[in-house]
Chain A
Amino acid sequence: EPEVTQTPSHQVTQMGQEVILRCVPISNHLYFYWYRQILGQKVEFLVSFYNNEISEKSEIFDDQFSVERPDGSNFTLKIRSTKLEDSAMYFCASSPPDTQYFGPGTRLTVL
C-alpha cells in the first residue's frame, strides 16, 4: 500500500539555523500539506499546496517558512531561521484531493 514518507525522522538544530524537512507524497496525489504538533497540543495546519503553488496557509506559516516541490516526487518545508518555539513534530500529508494521508513525521528539536 502506498505511503507518505518523511526524512529525517528526527532533526536537531541550533536556534537561528535553517532546516529543510523532506516528504515524498503518494505518487498520484495532487494536494500536499504540512501540519505540526507541538508536544501535548493539537495537530495544527500550516500550509496546503496544489498545482505548484500555495493554496492556503495559516497564521503560523510566516515569512520564515517556505514550501517547494523541487521535482516530481519531493515536497519540502524550509524554516529559514529556527526559533525555540519551532520545536514540534512536523507531518506531511497528501490527498487525491479529499482524504488526507499522513507521513510518520519529523521531530524537530531546536536548541
Chain B
Amino acid sequence: GENVEQHPSTLSVQEGDSAVIKCTYSDSASNYFPWYKQELGKGPQLIIDIRSNVGEKKDQRIAVTLNKTAKHFSLHITETQPEDSAVYFCAASSHYKLSFGAGTTVTVRA
C-alpha cells in the first residue's frame, strides 16, 4: 500500500518567515495530493491540493510543488502569521483512499 513520509515533525518559524514541509510517497499510481491543516480539537481542513498533471499550484501565501519522478511534494507557506500555527498533514491518493503523513506541528513565533 501507499506509504507517505513527512518531514519535519516540528517546525518553529519567526513571524514573516517562510515554512516548508516535505513529503514523499511510495505508490507511483498516486495522482492526488492534498494538504490539510488541523487546529486543536478540530478536524483536518483542506488548504490546498494538487493533481499529478500539475507541477506547482499557488493560492495566496500557500504553494505546493510536486515532483512525480522523485515522488515528493512540498508545502510552502510564505509570510507566516500567528494563525498559521497548527498541525499540517500531507496525503496521497490514487483511488479516493487518502494515505496521510505523520503531520508537522508548525509554531509561528511573534
Binding site for B on A (CB under 8 A): 4, 6, 31, 33, 35, 41-45, 48, 55-56, 58, 91, 95, 97-105
A-B pair number, CB within 8 angstroms: 53
Report the separation of the CA atoms of residues A33 and B41 in the bound assembly, to the nearest whole angstrom. 20
**Binary flags per residue of B65-101, CB closer than 8 Å to A gives 1, else 0:** 0000000000000000000000001010001111111
A-B contact pairs, 14 of them (CB 8 A): A42-B102, A42-B103, A45-B98, A45-B99, A56-B95, A56-B96, A91-B44, A97-B96, A100-B98, A102-B43, A102-B45, A102-B46, A104-B41, A105-B42
B43 and A100 form a contact (CB under 8 A): no
Please give me the 5 A-B residue pairs with the lowest Cβ-Cβ distance, nearest first: A102-B43, A43-B100, A104-B43, A102-B44, A105-B43
Binding site for A on B (CB under 8 A): 32, 34, 36, 41-46, 49, 89, 91, 95-103
Report the separation of the CA atoms of residues A97 and B93 in the bound assembly, to the nearest whole angstrom. 12
A98 and B100 form a contact (CB under 8 A): no
Contact of A99 among B44, B46, B100, B102 (CB under 8 A): B46
Contact of B97 among A56, A98, A103 (CB under 8 A): A56
Report the separation of the CA atoms of residues A104 and B42 in the bound assembly, to the nearest whole angstrom. 5
B36 and A102 form a contact (CB under 8 A): yes
A98 and B43 form a contact (CB under 8 A): no
Given contacts A100-B34, A104-B42, contact A95 B100 (CB under 8 A): no
Q: Which residues of B contact A33 (CB under 8 A)?
A: 96-98
B44 and A48 form a contact (CB under 8 A): no
Who on chain A is nearest to B102 by CB? A42
A95 and B46 form a contact (CB under 8 A): no
Report the separation of the CA atoms of residues A77 and B64 in the bound assembly, to the nearest whole angstrom. 33
